[in-house]
Amino acid sequence: MLHFSNWYLLILLAGLPWLYFWVEKQKPATIPHPDLVTKLIAHRSSLKAKVPLFIRLATFALLIIALARPQTGYVADTSNRFGIDIMVALDISSSMYADDFKPNRITAAKEVLAKFIKGRPTDRIGLVVFGSKSYVQCPLTNDHDTLLNFLDQVNVGLAEDGTAIGMALANCVNRLKNSQAKSRVILLLTDGDNNAGEIDPKTAAKLAQAMGIKIYTIGIGDLKGAPIKVQDQFGRVFYARNPDGSLFLTKMNEVGLKEITALSEGNYFIASNLSKLNNIFDQINKLEKVEFKAKNIFVFEEHYYPWVFAACLLLIGELMLRHLFVRRIP
């Protein structure tokens, strides 16, 4: 719909007829020789003689319309939206290579996380990865395409082997502490027990609780444990074994993970297969929604350029007409 930002300037259009009659009235008085008045009146009565004045008035009209800033606009957003800040802490220790998830835990976790991120377009989401150390893979961002690219680059081995859950949680809390979002959440995805790092997970969980940050803990894997595939320097793949030759099974500390969740007033989930992991993220999607009313955003597109261009063409045409085609009375 067309509207004018400076609509009050359109009032000047009403003055153009008055300007025309004023010019018509004033011109005879400027003739210094009375004997030429009759000749002038005859000349000015012709349509050809009036064309330059009409063009000048049309030029003024176009410029006035341009100054009034014609615009078309639309409402960009009037819907209710949901937005929270989420930091994801993803375990990338060697145990995430266990193949009780197909093809392995880390790949399955990345696929489900990617789906989760795509389903939260109004949230700011960040990513922390951890092994024996913790790193910010991507800070909180609304740019989910960039976040997904960073997630795609994640793999076991980016951090030294180990499970520093406390360090990962502290890193997430540090990223969320200055957030002004109504809801702040940490999603912890791990398959093991805390065995590295300088910060105890319980300490980090208490810090999160003090700041009003909830921790959703997702234990990945079978509670009975699962074997881990490893690769030697020659590229040969085999299952890890204990010193006595028995098959090594990676097990999670479910008690410890539940304690972390309880301290932060969050939720604990256990995912023993890909289907359950998908269901868990569906539940979190329903749990974590903070509604806010989006303001109406009016987007306007300016349309004064054609009016200015047309005015310039008319002005050039008037000058050419006056000097080349309309004979002036000396």
CB 141 within 8 A of CB 126: yes
For residue 110, which of 124, 129, 95, 131 has the smallest C-alpha distance? 129
- Cα 18 to Cα 280: distance, rounded to the nearest angstrom: 76
DSSP 241: B
pLDDT band at residue 296 under the 50/70/90 scheme: low
pLDDT for 157-178, tens place per residue?
777 788 999 999 999 999 999 9
Expressed in angstroms, the distance from the first to the final Cα of the chain is 51
Q: Where are the alpha helices (DSSP H) in the chain?
A: 15-26, 37-44, 47-67, 105-118, 144-153, 165-176, 201-210, 254-263, 274-287, 305-320
- Cα 164 to Cα 171: distance, rounded to the nearest angstrom: 11
Most confident listed range (5-9, 91-95, 237-241, 318-322): 91-95
Q: Which of 1-5, 248-252, 263-267 bottoms out in mean pLDDT, i.e. has the lowest?
A: 1-5
Q: Which amino acid is it at 29? A: A
- Cα 18 to Cα 24: distance, rounded to the nearest angstrom: 10
- Cα 92 to Cα 196: distance, rounded to the nearest angstrom: 13
pLDDT for 42-71, tens place per residue?
555 555 667 777 888 888 888 888 888 888
Q: Is 2 helix (H, G, I), strand (E, B) or coil?
A: strand
Selected residue with higher pLDDT from 21 and 245: 245
Please, where in the chain does CATH 3.40.50.410 lie? 80-293
Q: Is the pLDDT of residue 131 over 80?
A: yes
For 9, counting Cβ atoms within 10 Å of its Cβ (0-12 exposed, 13-18 middle, 19+ buried), the class is: middle
Domain 80-293 CATH superfamily = von Willebrand factor, type A domain (3.40.50.410)
219 beta partners: 190, 270
Buried-state track 201-238, b at ≥16 Cβ within 10 A, e below 16: bbebbebbbeeebbbbbbbbbbeebbbbeeeeeeeeee
Q: Where are the alpha helices (DSSP H) in 79-200?
A: 105-118, 144-153, 165-176
Q: Is the pLDDT of residue 147 over 60?
A: yes
The two tokens of residue 177 are 């502490």
DSSP 307: H
pLDDT at 127: 98
Mean pLDDT confidence for 129-144: 94
